Amino acid sequence: MSTQITNEDLELSVLEADATETPTAAARLSSLDTLESEAIHIIREVVAEFEKPALLFSGGKDSVVMLHLATKAFWPGKVPFPVLHVDTGHNFPEVIDFRDRTVERLGLKLVVGSVQEFIDRGELAERADGTRNPLQTIPLLDAIQSNKFDAVFGGGRRDEDKARAKERILSLRDEFGQWDPRNQRPELWNLYNGRHTVGQHVRAFPISNWTELDVWRYIERENIELPGLYYAHEREVFARDGMWRAVGEVSQPRDNEEVITKTVRYRTVGDMSCTGAVESAAATVRDVVIEVAASTITERGATRADDRISEAAMEDRKKDGYF
């Protein structure tokens, strides 16, 4: 670390840095351990500073990882908050089953916000394209308000989308649940500012800094159970919008769409009406890790029709209060 660094010094200093790496505990900490510690720190901060947090839990892999991190954060005690699921009414039955088993196993309270109930009451209208994902915002905000949740954990990651890349770890929502991307609080060091006024709430994203591959490597390392449709299975599908759609009650092929049986798996499990499968033979978590590492298509681009609507689709939904 001399003042006047010549090129030779530069080369040397890099070599030295390499050679002098000492086997300290910190040096041994893998990137996955570092990310895990960061997430647990954030989860504990939110629990310590908020009156009534809840965790968004859909049975999807990111929310399953979030719940796993929460169990580690408070071990040997119980996870000290309820889980919240916004049910579109179009969920995969096996995912709902997985959700209920998980809640039972961990002794958690489950709060469900139902899109169907809002439609039945005439407070939401079915969209022309049949997609219910964008309809989740109102039931979500209603559940937050009526349960007086002041912090809501989500499994959102910054690598998922351009708008999410700008999201804070603790992100303020106004009285209408809206996100103001141009007016976010700077987030410094590991000091999180969760102050909010009555009516506002905070979304907390402890795995903001994880990539899809990190999530899968963690699922493998921690031996975390997921709904079966994340792994290769045979399913009746038809092609639409460049992806494979499952045949189901709410997802019916049109006359010109041929139904075939394929070996597929899901990279995200959302609403059946807009979540597509990918052709895959990855039947184990190891297979999936290899597939994800090798994949050249991001997960949302590959399998979410709702993000293809426009370049700013996610940003627009987030501003309105979406996850």
**Does 295 engage in binding with other proteins (CB under 8 A)?**
yes
| Residue of the chain from 138, 269, 274, 289 that contacts other proteins (CB under 8 A) | 289
Q: How far is the CB of 19 from other proteins (least distance, A)?
A: 10
For the sheet with 53-56, list strands across it. 110-114, 83-87, 53-56, 151-153, 201-204, 170-173
Is 182 an interacting residue with respect to other proteins (CB under 8 A)?
A: yes
DSSP SS3 for 235: strand
DSSP 130: -
**Closest CB 61 distance from other proteins, rounded Å:** 16
Q: Between residues 259 and 297, which has the closer beta carbon with respect to other proteins? A: 297
- Does residue 256 touch other proteins according to CB under 8 A? no
Cis (ω within 30 of 0) for the bond into 227?
A: no
* Interface pick for other proteins out of 63, 208, 268, 275 (rule CB under 8 A): 208
Reduce the DSSP state of residue 279 to 3 states and report it.
strand
Cα atoms found within 13 Å of the Cα of residue 196, Cβ hemisphere only? 25
The single residue listed with the structure tokens 């040397």 is: 12
Using the contact rule CB under 8 A, the part of the chain among 86-94, 110-118, 134-142, 293-301 near other proteins is 293-301
Q: Does 185 engage in binding with other proteins (CB under 8 A)?
A: yes
Contact residue for other proteins among 56, 65, 124, 163 (CB under 8 A): 163
Q: Which of residues 115-154 bind other proteins (CB under 8 A)?
A: none
Binding positions for other proteins, 35-74, rule CB under 8 A: 35-38, 40-41, 44-45, 47-48, 71-74
- Can you say whether residue 242 is alpha, beta or left, with left for phi > 0 and alpha for psi between -120 and 50 degrees? left
CA distances, 73 to each of 56, 198, 311 (Å)? 17, 28, 37
- Tell me, by CB under 8 A, how many residues bind other proteins: 97
Residue 254 binds other proteins (CB under 8 A): no
209 binds other proteins (CB under 8 A): yes
DSSP annotation of 165 reads G
